[in-house]
Structure 1
């Protein structure tokens, strides 16, 4: 079968190698999926550059790709939750990625059934981002009735985070460019802040939770608007010791990341809040909860561009260098 491979880590070259590899066979706890679409993410380029080696040291060559949608073609002997022809989607387990291929064998615990109303392209845009949000809310211990600030909520992450946070009973505040205000409010945001005309650090206070999608200087700014005891989860800043311990990384990595992330821990202590970093993991149960919420609200993820599988490197370049108003997705031709 055809697959796109990471063949070497290279900070200056994110291109994958298209190659023929053996079609996988499902183990007892796995299903074999014929891939119909795959989400393309900044994470895919980060892996190629070697930027996540500290967290997940892949042995190269490695089939690339972290999230997919497809149809079940074969079922392992221990699998009871899926059957042949089911349409499923998932964020693949960290130690066995490989969505950029015609077929993938996946642990059934990583998968959920796709809501009927979503197309395959739309469904491919959901797992990684939606699970990031669900796991961030869990890490915060988010409770209904409290307030969350989602920075830069006009992008793809915000498009998922706002309705999911609302479904969990949170009051949602976000910011971004004014031309997206109407769309973001329609997703359920309670308040929208135009970043060009309003400084949120001057008008917000006592926020319970923050989802930091921006990083950089914005991380500390967001801490300054929080209530004492508040919880901030960053998608863009640095891993810390608590993250390394939660991921069960080796002790030396826990020590090293503890030093690397100490800047953010000290910053958080200054404001009386807790800093978390997240690296999303597969979780079929959480993804099924997302699918149920999506089905109830009929949420449709924003799609920016679709590419054919043979154009995978154009898609990765788009992620690296192009401005985006939604997800980039690879599609696989039917055979």
Structure 2
């Protein structure tokens, strides 16, 4: 089979090479799928640039890609939830990624069935963003009726996080470009702030929960809108000691990330707030819950642009350009 492989890290314009690779035998709890589509994410760009090495030191060469949609073509002897011919999707295990390939081997526990109404391209937008939202809610222990601010929630993450938050009974606030207001309001947003005319930090206060998608100085800024005892999950901030402990990292990384996240932890502690950095992991049960929500709402996730598998480097360049209006997707055709 052919796969898109990272041979070396490159900080500027990383390139993948499409090569033939061998596929290992299917294990007892594994499922082999023929890839139909794969999501392309900023995370893929971080990995290719070598900016993720301290979190997960992937050995090179590496088959890239974190989320996949495919058709089951073989199941292990002890697989019970899936059968040949079914359409499934997954966020691949953190330590065994490889969605940018014609076939992918995945543990049964990472998989969920794709809602029938979704196209392959739409389904490819779901696993990583939806599981990120679900696991952020879990970390913050969100309660029905709470107020949630998602910074920069007009992209592919917000498109999944907003309806999932509404399903949990949260009041949702987000900010972004005014041209995206109508689209996110239809997803259920209770308050939209146009960043071109209004600084969210000047109009928001006593928010229960924040999901920070921006990082940098915006992470610190968002503590100012949290209530005392509020909780903030950052997808782009600095890893901290709590993150290193939760993910089972060795002592030296706990010290390293403890120092890296010290300022944010100290800032949170001033008002008894909590700061979390997170890395989304595979979870077929959570993804099944997402599928049930999608079947109920018939939501069509936003696809920004599709590229054929052979144009994977163009897809990565598109991600690097920013200003995305949804998920970038690779398509796999016969």
Q: Same fold (TM over 0.5)?
A: yes
Match status 1:26 vs 2:26: yes
**Residue in 2 that maps onto 1:261:** 261
Structure 2 SS opposite 1:255: helix
Structure 2 SS opposite 1:312: helix
CA contact (8 A) 1:24 1:32 kept: no
Give the superposition deviation at 1:13: 4.0
CA distance in structure 1 between the partners assigned to 2:132 and 2:318 by the alignment? 22
Give the 5 Å matches for 1:241-256: 241-256=241-256
CA contact (8 A) 2:125 2:156 kept: no
Match status 1:332 vs 2:332: yes
CA distance in structure 2 between the partners assigned to 1:322 and 1:312 by the alignment? 16
CA contact (8 A) 1:2 1:19 kept: yes
CA distance in structure 2 between the partners assigned to 1:129 and 1:322 by the alignment? 17
Give the superposition deviation at 1:53: 1.1
CA distance in structure 2 between the partners assigned to 1:184 and 1:13 by the alignment? 31
CA distance in structure 1 between the partners assigned to 2:72 and 2:156 by the alignment? 27
CA contact (8 A) 1:3 1:102 kept: yes
**Residue in 2 that maps onto 1:46:** 46
Give the superposition deviation at 1:142: 0.5
Give the superposition deviation at 1:236: 0.8
Give the superposition deviation at 1:118: 0.2
Give the superposition deviation at 1:23: 2.7
**Residue in 1 that maps onto 2:102:** 102
**Residue in 1 that maps onto 2:14:** 14
Structure 1 SS opposite 2:105: strand
**Residue in 1 that maps onto 2:194:** 194
**Residue in 2 that maps onto 1:115:** 115
CA distance in structure 1 between the partners assigned to 2:130 and 2:247 by the alignment? 19
Match status 1:182 vs 2:193: no
CA contact (8 A) 1:25 1:32 kept: no
**Residue in 2 that maps onto 1:160:** 160
**Residue in 1 that maps onto 2:318:** 318
Match status 1:131 vs 2:131: yes
CA distance in structure 2 between the partners assigned to 1:70 and 1:261 by the alignment? 38
CA contact (8 A) 1:26 1:106 kept: no
Greater mean alpha carbon deviation, residues 287-296 or residues 198-207: 198-207
Q: Provide, for residues 161-206 of structure 1, a one-character-per-residue CA deviation record: whole Å limited to 9, x for no partner.
A: 1101000110111111112111111100111111222222222111
Structure 2 SS opposite 1:94: coil
**Residue in 1 that maps onto 2:281:** 281
CA distance in structure 2 between the partners assigned to 1:193 and 1:322 by the alignment? 20
CA distance in structure 2 between the partners assigned to 1:77 and 1:206 by the alignment? 53
Gaps of 5+ in 2: none
Structure 2 SS opposite 1:280: coil
Greater mean alpha carbon deviation, residues 74-83 or residues 315-324: 315-324
Give the 5 Å matches for 1:211-226: 211-226=211-226
Structure 2 SS opposite 1:286: helix
CA contact (8 A) 2:215 2:234 kept: yes
**Residue in 2 that maps onto 1:270:** 270
CA contact (8 A) 1:24 1:103 kept: no
CA contact (8 A) 2:13 2:317 kept: no
Give the superposition deviation at 1:123: 0.3
Aligned length: 334
Match status 1:70 vs 2:66: no
Give the superposition deviation at 1:322: 4.6
Aligned CA RMSD, in angstroms, stands at 1.0
Structure 2 SS opposite 1:23: coil
Distance 1:162 1:11, change over 3 A: same
CA distance in structure 2 between the partners assigned to 1:322 and 1:221 by the alignment? 22
CA contact (8 A) 2:36 2:71 kept: yes
CA contact (8 A) 1:37 1:120 kept: yes
CA distance in structure 2 between the partners assigned to 1:270 and 1:196 by the alignment? 30
CA contact (8 A) 1:234 1:277 kept: yes
CA distance in structure 1 between the partners assigned to 2:197 and 2:323 by the alignment? 22
Structure 2 SS opposite 1:189: coil
Gaps of 5+ in 1: none
Give the superposition deviation at 1:319: 0.6
Q: Provide, for residues 255-301 of structure 1, a one-character-per-residue CA deviation record: whole Å limited to 9, x for no partner.
A: 11111111110111224311100111101011111111111011111
